[in-house]
């Protein structure tokens, strides 16, 4: 019986790891060629053949001993499948950019026959009847969609190698910002082939796929059904916190008993975790999370800084009274998707001219924050709660103020609030352009002279009576996506001043790659740019005046950004 069990395990292991019989270089070539045929061959791109199965069969078919034999068979199978004639879509493209596209690698395939190389080059050089079954099956959509990808209930290392091929090629051909990555995407494939070859368990896979996703360097990136508990741990700190000046400031309590046991309080500053500085501790798990820039790396630290499966951690720091401490802290469990306190942001107040003001007030009747807070000759707008229907009344009411402050640290993706610029601009302004994938030529992107659609090409209207006061815009690392688009438009307001810090650098709609288990890997699907083609991706919006929270301002719940905005308006003559 023991022998039969052993034999069964041996057979299962050998059958589920056939992809490992290839060298890393062979798998690299196969991954790129498989993706090219998938998206460019008429039959495969139209979904006329099960392209996943073709790959999995090649992994297990011992007769196909060389990559060239495999490619010959792939092309043969694709050619045997019938395909439809694709009617060319009418395009609104102003131009095509090739900065994400490079097929020169085909000529360098030294172990692939000249005939096969020629065939692959013809596909990209003269694309014909290219379908969008795997990339854009929704009629009239400009967005990548992989809803037609197959899912699998069983686990095998071959299927996870398929996962790598699928994810890598989706980004290769349909990620608009691939050219902005620190590391060439080809090098990422080379790096992860040996990682995926070593996958033996579900846990191995989760570690690998989270690290792969992080390589996209896009603050929009996330794996929808979070895998982070299995990777960085199911426990975290018993408190809410923010990071300032490379230190952790405790801003709230999650587990009062554990806080008391460790003698930790709101306002305490933690400088070391298990003997390592806070910034050094960040590096332990930050490789599993995607971020466009360092500002988001610090923002997302809430997701992983204290995460572990080890119950306790030793923390060191300084009390409010200046006394140093070192204590053992018990971690507490997290329910990631349900945490209202994920960002750890305290309820800020405005300390202005020796008085304290609560500028964020909740409207119970409307279940939202009140959108405006007037003070003397100034007014603050909480942009995330603003509604288009109330803009005319609000703007008329505050037309004669000395200054307006617009807070973009929240999120509002209601396109109709573009109406606000009717009151701030003297004439219509072209504020941005976009790139979208050309699904008939995967890897190439189409420039369009508007954002999302033609109705959003201009902001503002001819208005000689536009607002004359000082406009100040507040931004920081929580300003992301639609909020960054609003920031781009605010750049058109005369004499506007941006106060705060670098924004998240992730603009364009969120789209997703369906993974082999049905989970989704989300990334930015459209490219958003200034009219001159300059990027916001990764760079974000840069402030005119840099203001960041300090340890003391967080301890006292003081909003330094709003204070600086009001001071700037006061200085205006």
Whether the Cβ atoms of residue 313 and residue 273 lie closer than 8 Å to each other: yes
* pLDDT of the residue at 13: 42
Q: How confident is the model at residue 61 (pLDDT cuts 50, 70, 90)?
A: confident
Confidence check: pLDDT of 134 > 80: yes
The conformational region for residue 230 under phi > 0 = left, psi -120 to 50 = alpha, else beta, is alpha
Looking at the chain, the whole-number percentage of residues with pLDDT higher than 70 is 95
Q: Per-residue pLDDT averaged across 163-171, rounded? A: 98
For the stretch 385-404, pLDDT in tens is 999 999 999 999 999 999 99
* pLDDT of the residue at 225: 84
For the stretch 343-379, pLDDT in tens is 545 578 999 999 999 999 988 999 999 999 999 999 9
Q: In the predicted model, what is the mean pLDDT of the chain?
A: 92
Neighbours of 324 (CB within 10 A): 9
Q: How confident is the model at residue 336 (pLDDT cuts 50, 70, 90)?
A: low
Looking at the chain, the whole-number percentage of residues with pLDDT higher than 90 is 84
* pLDDT of the residue at 12: 42
Beta strands in 222-323 (DSSP E): 222-223, 235-236, 239-244, 247-253, 269-273, 276-277, 312-318
Q: Per-residue pLDDT averaged across 414-441, rounded? A: 96
Distance in angstroms (rounded) separating the CA atoms of residues 154 and 382: 49
Tell me the pTM. 0.93
Distance in angstroms (rounded) separating the CA atoms of residues 571 and 156: 66
* pLDDT of the residue at 177: 98
Confidence check: pLDDT of 16 > 70: no
Q: Per-residue pLDDT averaged across 426-453, rounded? A: 94
Confidence check: pLDDT of 341 > 90: no
514 beta partners: 520
Question: CB within 8 A of 65, min separation 6: which ones?
Answer: none
For the stretch 196-255, pLDDT in tens is 999 999 999 999 999 999 999 999 999 988 788 889 999 999 998 999 999 999 998 889
* pLDDT of the residue at 200: 94
Beta strands in 204-323 (DSSP E): 222-223, 235-236, 239-244, 247-253, 269-273, 276-277, 312-318
* pLDDT of the residue at 334: 75
Q: How confident is the model at residue 339 (pLDDT cuts 50, 70, 90)?
A: low
* pLDDT of the residue at 335: 62
Confidence check: pLDDT of 50 > 80: yes
3-state secondary structure of 33: helix
Whether the Cβ atoms of residue 481 and residue 413 lie closer than 8 Å to each other: yes
Q: Per-residue pLDDT averaged across 116-124, rounded? A: 97
Query: Which segment of 67-76, 297-306, 427-436 scores lowest on mean pLDDT?
Result: 297-306
């Amino acid at each position: 019986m023991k022998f039969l069990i052993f034999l069964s395990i041996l057979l299962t292991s050998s059958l589920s790891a056939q992809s490992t019989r290839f060298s890393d270089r062979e798998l690299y070539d196969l991954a790129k060629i498989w993706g090219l045929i998938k998206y460019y061959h008429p039959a495969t791109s139209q979904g006329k053949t099960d392209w996943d199965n073709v790959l999995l069969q090649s992994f297990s078919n011992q007769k196909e001993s060389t990559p060239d034999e495999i490619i010959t068979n792939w092309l043969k199978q694709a050619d045997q499948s019938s395909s439809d004639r694709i009617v060319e879509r009418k395009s609104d493209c102003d131009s095509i950019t090739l900065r994400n596209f490079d097929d020169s690698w085909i000529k360098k395939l030294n172990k692939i026959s000249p005939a096969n190389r020629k065939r692959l080059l013809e596909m990209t050089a003269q694309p014909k009847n290219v379908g969008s079954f795997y990339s854009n099956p929704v009629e009239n959509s400009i967005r990548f969609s992989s809803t037609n990808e197959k899912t699998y209930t069983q686990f095998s290392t071959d299927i996870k190698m398929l996962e790598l091929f699928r994810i890598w090629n989706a980004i290769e051909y349909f990620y608009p910002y691939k050219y902005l990555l620190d590391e060439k995407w080809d090098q990422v494939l080379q790096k992860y082939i040996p990682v995926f070859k070593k996958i033996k368990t579900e846990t191995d896979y989760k570690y690998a796929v989270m690290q792969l996703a992080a390589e996209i360097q896009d603050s929009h990136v996330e794996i929808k059904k979070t895998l982070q508990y299995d990777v960085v741990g199911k426990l975290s700190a018993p408190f809410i916190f923010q990071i300032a000046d490379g230190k952790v400031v405790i801003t709230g309590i999650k587990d009062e008993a554990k806080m008391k046991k460790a003698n930790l309080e709101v306002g305490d500053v933690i400088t070391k975790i298990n003997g390592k500085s806070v910034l050094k501790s960040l590096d332990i798990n930050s490789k599993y999370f995607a971020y466009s820039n360092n500002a988001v790396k610090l923002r997302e630290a809430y997701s992983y800084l204290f995460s572990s499966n080890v119950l306790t951690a030793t923390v060191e720091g300084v009390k409010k009274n200046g006394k140093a401490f070192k204590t053992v802290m018990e971690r507490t469990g997290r329910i990631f998707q349900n945490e209202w306190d994920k960002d750890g942001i305290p309820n800020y107040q405005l300390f202005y001219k020796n008085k304290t003001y609560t500028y964020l007030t909740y409207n119970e009747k409307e279940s939202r924050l009140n959108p405006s807070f007037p003070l003397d000759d100034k007014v603050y707008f909480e942009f995330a709660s603003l509604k288009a229907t109330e803009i005319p009344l609000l703007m008329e009411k505050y037309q004669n103020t000395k200054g307006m402050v617009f807070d973009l640290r929240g999120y509002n993706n209601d396109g109709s609030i573009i109406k606000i610029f009717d009151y701030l601009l003297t004439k219509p302004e072209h504020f941005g352009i976009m790139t979208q994938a050309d699904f008939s030529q995967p890897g190439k992107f189409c420039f369009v002279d508007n954002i999302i659609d033609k109705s959003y090409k201009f902001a503002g209207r001819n208005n000689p009576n536009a607002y004359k006061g000082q406009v100040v815009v507040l931004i920081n690392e929580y300003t992301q996506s639609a909020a960054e688009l609003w920031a781009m438009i605010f750049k058109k307001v005369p004499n506007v001043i941006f106060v705060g810090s670098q924004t998240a650098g992730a603009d364009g709609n969120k789209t997703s790659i369906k993974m082999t288990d049905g989970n989704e890997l989300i990334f930015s699907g459209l490219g958003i740019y200034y009219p001159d083609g300059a990027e916001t991706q990764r760079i974000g919006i840069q402030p005119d005046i840099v203001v960041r929270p300090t340890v003391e301002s967080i301890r006292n719940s003081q909003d330094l950004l709003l204070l600086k905005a009001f001071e700037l308006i006061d200085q205006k003559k």
